[in-house]
Amino acid sequence: MADQAKRQPDAKRQADRLTRAEERRLSILAAARERADEDGWASVTTRHLAEAIGYSQPVLYGHFPGGKSEIMLTIALDGFVDLRDRCRSAVAGKVGEQAIAAVAHSYLEFADEHPAVYEAMFRQPIDARFAEEGNETQLREAFDALADVIGDAIGTEVFWGALHGIVLLERAGRMRLQDRDRRIEALSTRFASRAD
Residue 23 parent element (H or E): helix 2-39
pLDDT recorded at residue 117: 93
Q: Does the domain spanning 73-196 belong to CATH 1.10.357.10?
A: yes
- Could you report the per-residue pLDDT of 29-48, keeping only the tens digit for each? 999 999 998 888 999 998 88
Chain centroid offset of residue 107 CA: 11
pLDDT recorded at residue 4: 57
- Could you report the per-residue pLDDT of 131-145, keeping only the tens digit for each? 778 888 999 999 999
For the chain, which residues score pLDDT lower than 50?
A: none
Delimit the domains of the chain by residue range: 1-65, 73-196
pLDDT recorded at residue 188: 95
Do domains 1-65 and 73-196 share one topology? The answer is: no
| pTM, to two decimals | 0.84
Long-range CB contact pairs, 169-177, < 8 A, 24+? 170/108, 171/115
Q: Measure the CA–CA gap between 79 and 100, rounded to whole angstroms.
A: 20
CATH architecture, range 1-65: Orthogonal Bundle (1.10)
Whether the Cβ atoms of residue 84 and residue 139 lie closer than 8 Å to each other: no
